[in-house]
Chains A and B, each alone.
Chain A
C-alpha cells in the first residue's frame, strides 16, 4: 500500500502531465453592427440578450452553433474564435429575420448587417423642467406586422436603461389605438423625477413573439 502511495500516484501525475496542449489559442475575431434601415443608425437594443449572433463554423456540422449576445448600441464582437469560414446570422432581436452571411473570418473581420426593425422611434427630443422630464417622439415602421401595443419612457440613474432596468417610467398601453393613428401621431410622455442626472430612453413594442422592444438612443440629461 505504501508503495502504491509513494510511487504509483506521483507516477500517475507525471504521466498524465507529460503531453502538453500544443494547439494555438483561438486567434480570429468577428465584429460589426446592426444598421437600422429606418433611422440609418445602429439598431438600439438592450442588455442582456437584446439580440444574439449565431456562428456556424465550417466543418463542424455536428457542433452546436456558437451563440453570443449583442450590445445595447447594436454592435457585437467575439474575439475568441478560430480563423475559418463561418455562416453568421443575427437573430432573436427586435427586427425582421435577415439572411445568413458566409464570412471568411481572419484576425479581425468586420461584418455589418442592415436590418428592418419592427418599429423605430424617430424625432426623439427630451426636455427637462424642475422635477420632470418630457420626451417627445414619433413611431415609424416600414413593414407592417404585429399590432403596436406599448410605448414607454424609461428613466435611469445609471447609463444602462431598458425595459427591466429603470428608476422611473411612464408607460402607455396602445392596444386599443389603431396602428395608422399611432404611426401618424406625435407622442409626449412626462415623468416626474427628483433633481439629478439621468439617462432617458423611449421603448416601443409590437406584439411580437419574443416581446422585444425597439428603443431610441440613450439621452443623458440633468434635471434642475
Chain B
C-alpha cells in the first residue's frame, strides 16, 4: 500500500513538473467554441447573434425600474402601483442603470473577426449591418441615461502594462450621439429591407436613429451643457439633430414599407388593442418575441386587475391615474375631462357606469381598463362604496356587506357588497379606479397569468412612433404641414377628429405622443428630455376616480379622490443618472455626473 502511494505521488510530481515546461496543456477547451470557429458556420453565428440581440436593453415586459416589479410608468404621472410606496418614488438615479461595456466588447469582437470568416459576402455584409445596429442600440441606451460615455470601438486587450490606455475617459455627449448616428447610418446602408423576425433591418436602423436624434435635439434645446460638454449639447446643434431625426423618419415614411395597423377599422378600440398582440403586423419595425414555455415574461401576472388575477397572486402593479385618463380626448377633439358633475356642481348619475366614457378616444378603452368595463367577459368591478339616503358608505374589505332594508352596513344579514372585487381598499387593488389594458393578452388563460406564463411580444420600434418622431421634429423645425399630416395619420387610425394646421403646435404633437404611446415606457424618457420632469413631478399627488352606487337613483355617481399615499418628486440630478461608483474606481478617468 505504502509503495503504491509513493509511486502515485512520484508520477503526479513528474506530470506537474514536466507539464509546466512546454505547451502541452495549452489546448483549446473542447466544450467552448472560439469566435473564429463560430464564424465558420451560419447556424453558430445565428446563436451568437441571438445573445447579442438578447442583450439589447429594451424596456420590454421584463424591464423593471427599481425592485419589486415596478413598471417605469409608475415613475411618471402615467400610473402608480397598487402599493404607492417608495417604489413610486422616482428613485435616485440608480433605478434604470445600464452600463453595457461587456456587451459592447462582444459586438466589437464580432466586427473585428467578421472579415476573416469564410461566410459569403452578402451574409457577412448583413451581419456587419446588424452589428452596427446593435452597437448603436447599446450606446443609445447609455447616452440617454448618463450623457457622454467613453466611445470604445475596438476590442481592448490587456497586455500587462497598458492599463492606462484601457481606461478611456468619457466623450462629449454630442460626440456620442454623432457616433450612434454614424453606426446607424452604416447599419442602414448594409442592411436590407427585410430580415428574419426580431432582427434589424434598414428601417429598424432608421427608426432607432430618428428616436436617438430626437433625444439629442431635445437635449440641445432644453438641457444645459455641464462638465465641458460631457453632459449636455450646445444649443447651436439642436437644429441639425432635429433635421437628422426628421430625415431618418421621412425615409421610412416615403418607403411605404410600413403602415399603421388598421385590420378592424369598424371597431377602433379593438383594433388598437390587437395592434400590440398581433405578431403578423404591418406596423412592427422591430419586436422581441416570446414563446411559452422557453422564453416568457410575467406581464399579465403583474398588471391584471385584482379580481381576475392569476394563480400566483400579485396583479394591479400599474394603475393609470385620472390625469392620464383625461389626457385622452373625446372623439370630436374636445378636451378629455370626464363629465362627473353638471354645471351646478351636482353629481351626474349613470345607470351604466361605462357610459361615463362614451365618445372618448377609442384608444382609451384599448389602453386602460376603465371602471366596470370587461376583461375576458368578466366585469371589472371597482365600486368604491355606496350612497343610501344621502349617506356615503365605504369599506376596506370586499366581504363587507350592506343591508338596504335597515339602511346600514350589516355583515350578517346584508345583501349587497359595499366595495367591488377589484375595487378600493387594501394595497393589492387599484389605487386610482383604473387598470392598464394595453399589452394584456386577451387570449391568455387565467391559469397561465403567472410569473413566467406570458409570451406576448414586445414591440420596440413601431411605425406609429416613427410618425410621432417625424411630427415632433417637423414641428420643432416649423414644418407645420408635415407635422399635421403625421399627427393626423395617427388620429385617423385612432378614430378621432383630425387637426387643422393652426392647431398643430409642438405641445399638441407631444400630447398626441403621450396618449398614443402611453404605457410603452416612453413617457419617463420624454418628460426627461423635454426637461419637464422636475416641474411635473414636484411633490405631486395624482387623483383617482371613485365610483359609488346610489341606492336611491339606482345608478352610479363618480367622485375624484387623492390616489395613493405618497407624493412623487423628480430630483433634478436624475436628468442624468449616477455612474456606478464601482466603475469609477476601476477607471478614475470617468467623471461622475453632477450632484452624485
Binding site for B on A (CB under 8 A): 49, 52, 62, 64, 92, 163-166, 208-211
Q: Is the CB of A64 within 8 A of B581?
A: yes
By beta carbon, the residue of chain A nearest B569 is A164
Does B584 interact with chain A (Cβ within 8 Å)?
A: yes
Chain A CB within 8 A of B118 CB:
no
A165–B534 CB distance below 8 A: no
The minimal Cβ–Cβ distance linking B537 to chain A, given in whole angstroms, is: 9
Q: Which of A62, A164, A166, A209 contacts B571 (CB 8 A)?
A: A164
Enumerate chain A residues within 8 angstroms of B225, measured Cβ to Cβ.
209
B334 at the interface (CB under 8 A from A): no
The residue of chain A having its C-beta at the shortest distance from the C-beta of B575 within the complex is A211
Chain A facing B: main interface SS: loop
**Additional 10 contacts, C-beta under 8 A, given A64-B581, A210-B594:** A62-B588, A64-B584, A64-B588, A92-B595, A166-B539, A209-B226, A209-B232, A210-B226, A210-B573, A211-B572
Interface membership of chain B positions 572-596, coded 1 if the CB is closer than 8 angstroms to chain A and 0 otherwise: 1100000001001100100000110
Residues of A within 8 A of B581 (CB): 64
Q: How close is B170's CB to chain A, nearest CB, in angstroms?
A: 15
Give the nearest-CB partner of A163 in chain B.
B538
How far apart sit A176 and B65, CA to CA, in the bound complex (Å)? Answer: 37
Residues of B within 8 A of A64 (CB): 581, 584-585, 588
**Which residues does chain A contribute within 8 Å of B40, judged by CB atoms?**
none
Task: Closest B residue to A69 by CB, please name it.
Answer: B595
Interface size class of B (residues with CB under 8 A): 10 to 19
* 13 A–B contacts, CB within 8 A, in A order: A49-B571, A49-B573, A62-B588, A64-B581, A64-B584, A64-B585, A208-B224, A209-B225, A209-B226, A209-B594, A210-B226, A211-B534, A211-B572
CA distance A62 to B585 in the complex (A): 9
A164 touches B595 (CB 8 A): no
CA distance A64 to B539 in the complex (A): 33
Nearest B residue (CB) for A93: B595
- Contact present for A209 and B224 (CB under 8 Å): yes
Contacts of A92 in B (CB 8 A): 594-595
- Interfacial chain B residues near A208, Cβ < 8 Å: 224
Look across to chain B and name the residue whose beta carbon is closest to the beta carbon of A52. B595
- Asked if A164 meets B539 with Cβ closer than 8 Å, knowing A209-B224, A211-B572, the reply is yes
How far, in angstroms, from A49 to B93 measured CA to CA in the complex?
A: 13
A211 to B571 alpha-carbon distance, docked (Å): 10
**Given the complex of chains A and B, what is the CA–CA distance between A92 and B594 in angstroms?**
7
Q: Is the CB of B595 within 8 A of A49?
A: yes
Q: List residues 209-255 of chain B with CB under 8 A from any CB of chain A.
A: 224-226, 232
Residues of B close to A49: CB separation below 8 A = 571, 573, 595
Which A residue sits closest to B539, measured CB to CB?
A164
**Alpha-carbon gap, A52 to B592, bound state (A):** 13
A166 contacts across to B, CB distance below 8 A: 539
State the CA gap A82–B209 with chains docked (Å). 51
Given A49-B573, A164-B571: A210 and B595 within 8 A (CB)? yes
Q: Smallest distance from the beta carbon of B276 to chain A beta carbons, Å?
A: 36
Chain A contacts for B585, CB-based, 8 A: 64
The minimal Cβ–Cβ distance linking A142 to chain B, given in whole angstroms, is: 22
A211 to B539, CA, bound (A): 16
Closest to B227 in A: A209
Please report the C-alpha to C-alpha distance between residue A167 and residue B26 in the assembled complex, in whole angstroms. 70
Task: With CB as the reference atom, state the residue of chain A lying closest to B588.
Answer: A62
> Which chain A residue lies CB-closest to B232?
A209
Interface residues of B in 545-587 (CB under 8 A from A): 569, 571-573, 581, 584-585
B residues less than 8 Å from A62 (CB atoms): 588
Distance (Å) between the CB of A144 and the closest chain B CB?
18
Given A64-B581, A64-B584: A164 and B594 within 8 A (CB)? Answer: no
**Which B residues, 444 to 502, have Cβ-Cβ distances below 8 Å to chain A?**
none
Q: What A residues does B538 contact at CB under 8 A?
A: 163-164
Residues of A within 8 A of B534 (CB): 211
Given contacts A49-B595, A92-B595, A209-B224, contact A165 B588 (CB under 8 A): no
Chain B residues with CB under 8 Å of A52's CB are 595
How far, in whole Å, are A208 and B588 apart by their CA atoms in the complex? 28
Which one of B539, B572, B594, B595 contacts A165 once the chains associate, using CB atoms below 8 Å? B539
The residues of A that contact B539 with a CB separation of less than 8 Å are 164-166
CB-defined contacts of B571 to chain A, threshold 8 Å: 49, 164
B281 vs chain A, min Cβ distance (A): 42
Tell me the nearest residue of chain B to A150, going by C-beta: B535
Write the nearest CB–CB distance from B218 to chain A, whole angstroms. Answer: 16
Task: Please name all residues of chain A whose beta carbon is closer than 8 Å to the beta carbon of B572 when the two chains form the complex.
Answer: 210-211
Closest to B224 in A: A209
Q: What does the 1/0 interface line of B237-280 toward A look like (CB < 8 Å)?
A: 00000000000000000000000000000000000000000000
A162 closest partner in B (C-beta): B539
Taking the closest CB of chain A, its distance from the CB of B435, in whole angstroms, is 29
Q: What B residues does A210 contact at CB under 8 A?
A: 226, 572-573, 594-595
Q: How far is the CA of A20 from the CA of B143 in the complex (A)?
A: 46
Contact partners of B232 in chain A: CB under 8 A? 209
CA of A218 to CA of B278, assembled, Å = 58
Q: Please, how many angstroms separate the alpha-carbon atoms of A164 and B90 in the complex? A: 13
In whole angstroms, how far apart are the Cα atoms of A209 and B534 in the complex?
A: 13
A56 CA to B450 CA, complexed, in Å: 52
Give bound CA distance, A208 to B581, whole Å.
26
Minimum C-beta distance from B499 to chain A (A): 27
Chain A residues near B584 (CB, 8 Å)? 64
Give Cα A121–Cα B584 distance, bound, in whole angstroms: 38
A52 to B596, CA, bound (A): 9
Q: Which residues of A contact B595 (CB under 8 A)?
A: 49, 52, 92, 210
Question: CA of A209 to CA of B223 in the docked complex: distance in angstroms?
Answer: 8
Closest chain-B Cβ to A160's Cβ sits at a distance in Å of 12
Q: Tell me the minimal C-beta distance from B530 to chain A in angstroms.
A: 14
- Measured in the bound complex, the distance between the Cα atoms of B232 and A209 in whole Å is 10
CA distance A17 to B235 in the complex (A): 59
In the complex the two chains form, what is the Cα distance from A92 to B227 in whole Å? 12
Residue among B225, B232, B572, B584 with max Cβ neighbours from chain A (10 Å): B572
What residues of B have a CB within 8 angstroms of the CB of A209 in the complex? 224-226, 232, 594
In the assembled complex, the Cα of A210 lies from the Cα of B224 at a distance in Å of 9
Best-buried of B225, B538, B585, B595 by chain A (most CB within 10 Å): B595
CB distance from A68 to the nearest CB of B (A): 12
What are the residues of chain B within 8 A of A164 when measuring CB–CB?
538-539, 569, 571
Chain B residues whose CB sits within 8 angstroms of the CB of A211 once the complex forms: 534, 572
B594 proximity list for chain A (CB < 8 A):
92, 209-210
Q: Whose C-beta in chain B lies nearest to the C-beta of A167?
A: B539
Q: Provide the bound-state CA to CA distance between A209 and B575, in Å.
A: 11
- Using CB atoms, name the residue of chain A closest to B573: A49
B573 cross-chain contacts in A, Cβ below 8 A: 49, 210
Query: Shortest Cβ distance from A190 into chain B, in angstroms?
Result: 19
**Bound: A179/B571 CA distance, A:** 27
Q: Which residues of A contact B224 (CB under 8 A)?
A: 208-209
